[in-house]
Amino acid sequence: MTPSRPFCTIRLFTLGLLLLGMVVSVHAQPIDTLFVRLRGLPVDSLETIERVATDSRLKMVAINRLTGQYAFLGRTEDCMKAAMRGLELAESTRNDTLLALAHFGIGVAFTRLSDVNGALRHFSIAFDGYQQIGDSLRMSLTCKETAIVYQQVGDIDGTLRYMRKAQAYGLGQGIHGRSMTILARCHMDRGDLDSALYYARLADVMKVPGTDPYGYAAYKLIMANVHAARGENDVAEPYYKRALAVADSARTLDALIGASAGYAKLLIGQGRAAEALAWARKGFAATDEVRQPALMIRSTTALSDAFAANGMTDSALVYSKLAHAWRDSLSALQNRSQLQNQLFTQELKDREEAKAREEAKEERSRNIQFGIIALIVITLGIFLLIFSRTSVVGAKVIKNLSLIALLLFFEFINLLVHPFLGELTHHSPLLLLLCMAAIAGLLLPLHHRMEKLITNMLVSKNNRVRLEAARRTIEELEARPTDTNAG
């Protein structure tokens, strides 16, 4: 047995125990607890949990985590598919919390596709859902993600506006540092380095990596970038080193690549070209596992500058061309992202249309049932009047009841045949009107005949009732003199 097999066996056994424990205790746990339990799990473990979970909340939390992980790893197609699975699951449960989580995942997928309108629309739906159930922390999280959408398109004012909303709803422990990082970057982009430093210090609250090495590296990196932008290289350098140490050991590759490029630039400015080249190579080596165009551009540009600083112009030219190639690749990827975006949007539109058709079908079914009930009530009322031994009803009442019955019957027929007529006439208003007029033309003669028949029956019954009442009256009158004589 190779050394890797025992490790794999132990890992599978541990994952099995974790899943068993979740299945036993998941029904007693709030959804926030499930989020905590799944935090930090790798993608393969989350995929296994989603596959075997029977509880809808656990499955949704796993899907939500997977959507974020796929987006972070640049696996756009997997991110979209996970978001769609989440929406299907939430709609099947009709649970408000799960529906809000599902739309939040759709917003994350649209953010990955750089579709501003799609992301904002579904984040807005998620926000409304969280507001309805009173989940202020997730309202804050949704505002923070909305701010990131604005940040991606360079709208600093929009970013700051939504970050203020996020702060008003309360920043949870998991998003406080990242929120401060966003604010620091906004003020850096504005050139307001004092404010950038203020928010970077608020983000830099982790003294040790702990269970969040990605957050620790990101916070140290923003501190380093702000100090470097302020020209405080002696302060920036320790932060770069801390970020690089943790990013390298924890393999948080985007932080490693970003910190390597930033540190290499700082070293070049200090004339430490050999060290800059070493760190630029370190960052470039990390791209073998990522290959994201935006990170590749930063890495190859830093390496080209480092080679140029060391007088190695041929190598500098090679990596400069590679950086340009990755910029072209980024443009191609954006075009592909637009195509994926169209497919994703169309799939969502198809789902919404199918859902609308199903709701219309259910509404029509309810209306038909109401129509049947109303017809039964009116029909029973008429028959009750016909066969009652004592009631006497005038022709005017019968005419009004028959008119109501005709209208109800016409509407009932309309509800039944409207879908078929719509397909037959392609929903042409003129053709639909002609069809409805033809149906009314067939019903009116039938209505007149039925009204005449019922009226005749009622007249005959009314005559019998009146004659019977008259006969009893005569008998009573005839009986009174007899009683008097007998007395």
Residue 367 is predicted with a pLDDT of 67
Identity of residue 392: V
> Is residue 290 assigned to a domain?
no
Alpha carbons 154 and 149: distance in angstroms, whole number: 9
Give the tens place of pLDDT for each residue, 158-199. Answer: 888 889 999 888 887 768 888 888 899 899 888 899 999 999
Chosen domain end from 150, 173, 193: 150
**Residue 8 falls inside a structural domain:** no
| Residue 79 counted as domain residue | yes
CB 123 within 8 A of CB 105: no
Model confidence band, residue 237 (pLDDT cutoffs 50, 70, 90): very high
The separation between CA 303 and the C-alpha centre of its own chain, rounded to angstroms, equals 41
Residue 421 within any structural domain of the chain: yes
The pLDDT of residue 303 is 86
Question: Could you tell me the pTM of the whole model?
Answer: 0.59
Domain count, the chain: 2
**Which residue among 97, 121, 150 closes a domain?**
150
What is the helix (H) or strand (E) element at residue 426, kind and residue range? none
**Element of type H or E holding 296:** helix 293-309
pLDDT for 298 equals 83
Tell whether 424 is covered by a domain. yes
> Phi and psi at residue 270, in whole multiples of 5°?
-90, 0
Average pLDDT over residues 442-468: 68
pLDDT at 235: 92
Residue 442 lies in a domain: yes
User: DSSP 3-state assignment of 95?
Assistant: coil
Domain boundary among 150, 165, 193: 150
Q: How far apart are CA 144 and CA 131, in angstroms?
A: 15
Structure tokens at 324: 């340009």
CA-to-CA dists, residue 98 to 5, 57, 136, 193, 362, angstroms: 38, 7, 15, 41, 23
Measured between alpha carbons, how far is 379 from 373 in angstroms, rounded to an integer? Answer: 10
- For 359-395, write each residue's pLDDT tens digit: 767 776 766 676 666 666 666 566 655 555 555 556 5
Q: Residue 475 pLDDT > 60, yes or no?
A: yes
pLDDT at 473: 79
Q: Which domain holds residue 383?
A: 367-477
Does residue 293 lie in a domain region? no
Q: What is the CATH number of the domain that holds 87?
A: 1.25.40.10
